[in-house]
Amino acid sequence: MSGRTNWVPPDVDVSRASPARVYDYLLGGALNFPVDREMARQAIAAMPWVENLAKYNRAFLVRAVQFCVRAGVRQFLDLGSGLPSVRSVHEVAQALDPRCRVVYVEQEPVAVAHGRLVLGPVEGAGMVWADMCDVDTVLSDPVTKELLALDQPVAVVMASSLHYVLDAERAAGIVTAYLDAVVPDSYFVLSHITDNRDVGSSEVNALVELSKTTTAAGVARPREWIAGLLEGLDVVEPGLVYTSQWRPDNPLRLVTDLPAHASLLAAVARKP
């Protein structure tokens, strides 16, 4: 994809890289621009593990969504979703049960514009243009109200999105607000970049610094802070682990590509 296509809002600056589109490129998608591809190539050149990091995160999301569907959840609220790219939530969930409904929430205009284009013919999926921090706006949006019944369990998904909320207190607060809005037997799906203060710490910090040159900067947080988001919930086994370690399809592997395996912590938890 190059130049400006007719679905891109005219007031969007496509000369600056977007994390959503960079992530799409790293996953092998085509919904990105030259500036995004250049940013991704620079990141890969400096940190070759970044490509695997993105793929491990998407693989975790796929497994987590499948788990939630098998646990009885048929509604998903994907917050800070980015572009509906490779193996998106609605594709994974509806492959198991076509009755599943998915609301994507994103504030990046290009992601929203394309998301609405892609999801237009898809029954049971829609896109909300909003900052996921604006909980009331998200939950009162007509798309959310049409697709999600909040008196039934919902999987609240924050896969590699909460670390873009730089204020820690605000980030924790929005998690609480969304979980307060859903009923018991709802689930929380989380992945978050972490500064493990050990192997790979300097590489993770370098990635965080690179994010500051895009349209959205991120922040790495300690394991203890991330674990605190799960307090009061029933955390599904194997608990808070790295994305590649959460119920992997192939549990036998050699960890030779750190810090890709040790950068994003992940968990799935049930609201009792």
Q: 48: number of CA atoms within 13 Å, CB side?
A: 3
Tell whether pTM > 0.95.
Answer: no
Strands 234-235 and 101-106 come out as unpaired
Say what the pLDDT of residue 54 is. Answer: 80
Say what the pLDDT of residue 212 is. Answer: 56
What pLDDT band is residue 268 in, cutting at 50, 70 and 90? very high
* β-bridge partners, 192: 265
Q: Which residue has the higher pLDDT, 44 or 71?
A: 71
Burial class of residue 136 (count of CB atoms within 10 Å of its CB; 0-12, 13-18, 19+)? exposed
The total number of residues shown for the chain amounts to 272
Strands 187-193 and 264-270 come out as antiparallel
Cα–Cα distance measured from residue 197 to residue 44, given in angstroms and rounded to the nearest whole number: 22
What pLDDT band is residue 24 in, cutting at 50, 70 and 90? confident
Average pLDDT over residues 164-172: 94
Say what the pLDDT of residue 55 is. Answer: 84
Q: Which residue has the higher pLDDT, 163 or 230?
A: 230
Burial 227-256 (b: 16+ CB within 10 A, else e): eebbeebeebeeebebbbbbbbeeeeeeee
Average pLDDT over residues 163-192: 96
pLDDT at 4 over 50: no
Average pLDDT over residues 98-102: 98
What pLDDT band is residue 87 in, cutting at 50, 70 and 90? confident
Contact 151/128 with Cβ under 8 angstroms?
no
Of all residues in the chain, the percent with pLDDT exceeding 90 is 51
